[in-house]
Each structure stands twice: as C-alpha cells, then as structure tokens.
Amino acid sequence: GQNIDQPTEMTATEGAIVQINCTYQTSGFNGLFWYQQHAGEAPTFLSYNVLDGLEEKGRFSSFLSRSKGYSYLLLKELQMKDSASYLCAVREPGSARQLTFGSGTQLTVLP
Amino acid sequence: DGGITQSPKYLFRKEGQNVTLSCEQNLNHDAMYWYRQDPGQGLRLIYYSQIVNDFQKGDIAEGYSVSREKKESFPLTVTSAQKNPTAFYLCASGQGARNEQFFGPGTRLTVL
C-alpha cells in the first residue's frame, strides 16, 4: 500500500513563490504525478517525475528524491488563477500502474 | 476533439435506487478508471479496467459495479448497497509507458 502526505492548506501572495511538499511511504514506486484541481472540476496534469531531480515547465517545477520519499511542486510568479487544490499521486509498479492520490493541498493566492 | 465525457454533471437520486454514471472516451486508451472524491479529500479508486471485458476492484469497490463491453465506455453503477453514495465521481483513462491519466469533468451525485 501507499501513504501520501501533503499539507492541507497553504496561502501565498500574488507574484510570490510557493512550494508544496509531498512525502510518501510505499511498498513500490514507479513515478510521481502532480495534478491541479479547481473547485468542482476535474484534475488536470501538471508534472511527472520518475527519476531524481527537478523537472521545469514554465512557472511550475517539480522535484523528486526517491531515497527520501519526497517531492515538491514549486509555483513561481503566482497568479490568482493558481488558487486551487494540488494533488500528489504515486504510481504503483505492475501492469495496472494505478495511481494513489494524496488528500491534496488547497492553495489560496491573495492579492 | 479527443477527450473524456461524463454525464450528467449533476445527478439526484432517492435512497435505495441504483444509478448508473456514464463515461466515454475517444482517446483510444486501453485503461480506464473510476474514482470517488469527498469534500476536502483526495481521489479514491473504485474500479479500473485495463482491457475490454476485464476489470478489477480498487480500494473502495463495495456497493459499486462496472462493465467494460467496449473500449470507449466504462459505466459505473452505484447500487443501493453503497452506504454513503453522495460524492463527486471522476472517470479517467490512460495509456502508454507513463500512463498519465486524463480525467473527465465528473458527475456530482446526491442521494436524497
């Protein structure tokens, strides 16, 4: 099984930088995803890490350390539209390659 | 446009009634998934299917049933045995080495 921990809520100011952490304890690991979910909507894919290191995509970056069971999502130049829930998900090894999701971090961006 | 559709967006049912939620995808993905999301919670896996005519239980399958008669379709039935069915239901599909999952818009089910 998998256990995934994220902070429940975070608040930041427009234009700032925020880091959302995710730690996991798993019996196996085959990749980590970050999704963004606005209230009442479907999650949308942000990033994927399977090897240690930093993946950068525009204002968003994601980091993974497999030895520490740790990932973070870094959001730069925050905008009001970034207010959303950010979900960390770990993929299990095996043919089904299911995702196990954390409870999500609700980010509020203030003007 | 390729994508995943779920209908309806909002659904109301009386307690004790079965209800079926639809999920259709035209992405040609082999794998499809059903998740349940409760307020302030992450997604929990109900059922998944890797190929047509085959599906497996996820973490919270009790009170739910599915079928996969066509590659494009993976309907979910919420039965009267499900004790707390009011929730937001999300369908997803995925394929390839990374198996990034793409989500439909969701169905919010309220049982009165």
As a whole number, mean pLDDT of residues B87-91 equals 96
- For residue range B29-84, list pLDDT tens digits in order: 999 999 999 987 889 999 999 999 999 999 999 999 999 999 999 999 999 888 89
What is the mean predicted confidence (pLDDT) over A85-92?
A: 93
- Residue A93: the pLDDT is 80
Strand order in the sheet with B19-25: B4-7, B19-25, B76-78, B64-66
A1 vs A99 pLDDT, higher one: A99
B16 to chain A, minimum CA–CA distance in Å? 26
Side-chain-facing half-sphere of B104: CA atoms under 13 Å? 31
Residue showing tokens 């606005």: A38
**pLDDT at A28 (0 to 100):** 84
* B60 touching A (Cβ < 8 Å): no
Cα A97 to Cα B98: distance, rounded to the nearest angstrom: 9
Q: Which residues of B58-71 are buried (b: 16+ CB within 10 A; e: fewer)?
A: beebeebbbebeeb
Question: How close A42 comes to chain B (CA, Å)?
Answer: 5
Q: Give the per-residue pLDDT at A26.
A: 82
Q: Give the B window 3-32 contacts with A, CB below 8 Å.
A: 31
CB atoms within 10 A of CB A80: 10
| Bridge partners (DSSP) listed for residue B87 | B109
- A97 to B99: CB separation less than 8 angstroms, yes or no: yes
